[in-house]
Amino acid sequence: MSRNGPLAIAFHSCIVAFMLAPIVVVCLVAFTPEGYLSLPLHEFSLRWFRAIARYPEFVSAFWTSLWLGAFSSALALLVAVPAALALARYRFRGRDLLAGLFLSPLMIPHVVLGVAFLRFFTQIGLGGRFAGLILAHLVIVCPFALRLTLASATGMDRAIEQAAISLGASDWAVFRRVTLPLIAPGMVSGWALAFIQSFDEVTMTVFVAAPGTETLPVRMFLYIQDNIDPLVTSVSACVIAVTVVALICLDRLYGLDRLLVGQGHGDS
């Protein structure tokens, strides 16, 4: 910032303000005392935060989204780690085809995926079940976990593994004590990004979710179809607060700068 001129700083500030403006407006509207969407110009109220307690569907949907994101992201890592190591270390026939297959969900509209999953899960008996939701979210979040894990695996120094092998370490010991710590930044950032994508997914989930397995974005989408009040903004403000707290805890425990620096080395 010290090398940027006043115009560059003003430009960057405008970009940041433009990106944060929707979040700030949503959080402000959540504190309105009125029964309609409006900014609290005269006073702030917790009326709509207390109203969340009268709708336990939102709380239940939040926990569904939380567990769904955690499970699907963890499963995505189980697929992404061996796939990333294979793609980063070996050159074999069909390598590019395999990489394209793993990343293909990024190119398919989620509406198409939703219709396809609805048809498929209905035929195999997983329609409206939580296991079906996990499998569907696994497909759409796996590319994000793979891409970041692959970046860390590509930038990993193989000489460290070879040194451990020369000292008598077994393959499992090398993988557990050398390889995993080296690609940990990509794994953690990949899991976090996959979790965010799963938690925020609504287009595909609308087709797959049932009344007993509604996620929070789906519940909010269904609510605003019939109601126009600030309740959804208060729910959104709570989610934003939980996200900020989670990022602070992650920064304290692991360090977001380590994730960014490790990811930057992997991309280079």
Nearest Cα neighbor of 185 from 268, 102, 89, 256 is: 256
Checking if the pLDDT of 252 tops 80, the result is no
pLDDT grade for 161, boundaries at 50, 70 and 90: confident
pLDDT for 187 equals 87
Mind listing the pLDDT tens digit for each residue in 61-77? 889 999 999 999 999 99
Q: What superfamily in CATH does domain 54-267 come from?
A: MetI-like (1.10.3720.10)
pLDDT grade for 164, boundaries at 50, 70 and 90: confident
pLDDT for 1 equals 47
Q: By percentage, how much of the chain surpasses pLDDT 70?
A: 92
Write down the pTM of the prediction. 0.81
Element holding 78 (H helix, E strand): helix 56-89
Which residue reads 């979210």 in tokens?
137
pLDDT higher for 98 or 263?
98
pLDDT grade for 40, boundaries at 50, 70 and 90: confident
CB 141 within 8 A of CB 72: yes
CB 29 within 8 A of CB 233: yes
Average predicted confidence (pLDDT) for the chain? 84
Nearest Cα neighbor of 213 from 132, 139, 129, 141 is: 129
Mind listing the pLDDT tens digit for each residue in 41-61? 888 888 888 888 888 888 888
Domain spans, the chain:
54-267
